Structure 1
């Protein structure tokens, strides 16, 4: 069984291009979410200290799913308007090895050092 994957894009977008960037992201995200096999979710985030620094993350069922999508002409065409807004871009690919989720029911843990 293959591991889920997280793709990280560290990008810079000039302040005067940010409206175009966000509009392009809006067009892309629903097209990907509704029709690309293996895509689970994504986020776009802006730095709280550097308004030109952005982060896009996407989660995939497997790295193979992302690589297959990235290799298509449809991918290149869809992301071209967004990429045109970048002044810098770097991408990283990670395999998810562990994950923490919110517990359905929270129980109080005993203080450290006390018997369980």
Structure 2
């Protein structure tokens, strides 16, 4: 059986006064990971619509083993340290992706019929 794609979720709290520092650290991590960590597919950072200190960081991986290999590396610990220093609380969850809705294929609208040129 082939390995399933995985989603890793971090629910974190960041004081409002450290938001800029947190986002700058996230950007550094995001660009380096996207540029060459094996198995990394995509990530997002989301801020709560009701609590400005609540953040959600998600990442998708080709397999949970790819994420765990990255997480155990010394490079990971060094790279994420500035971001983690902004957290007052953090919770991590890991999931295998069981099913997903496919991306819809764009449907092209039919071209409107053109009226014949007036005779005159």
Under a length normalisation based on structure 2, what TM-score does the superposition of the two structures give?
0.86
Give structure 1 stretches of 5+ with no counterpart.
107-116
Query: Could you say which structure has the larger radius of gyration?
Result: 2
Are the structure 2 counterparts of residues 16 and 96 from structure 1 closer, same or farther at C-alpha, using a change threshold of 3 Å? same
Structure 2 equivalent of residue 19 of structure 1 = 20
The 5-angstrom pairing of residues 1-116 of structure 1 reads 1-105=2-106
Report the 3-state secondary structure (helix = DSSP H, G, I; strand = E; otherwise coil) of the residue aligned with 1:49: coil
SS at match of 2:95: strand
Runs of 4+ in 1 over 4 A off after TM superposition: none
The total of aligned residue pairs comes to 106
Aligned-residue offset at 1:103: 1.9
Alpha-carbon distance in structure 1 between the residues aligned to 2:32 and 2:106: 35
Q: Which runs of 5+ in 2 are unaligned?
A: 108-120
Q: Deviations over 1:61-95 (max 9, x none)?
A: 00000000000000000000000000000000000
- RMSD (Å) for aligned C-alpha atoms: 0.8
What's the TM-score, normalizing by structure 1?
0.89
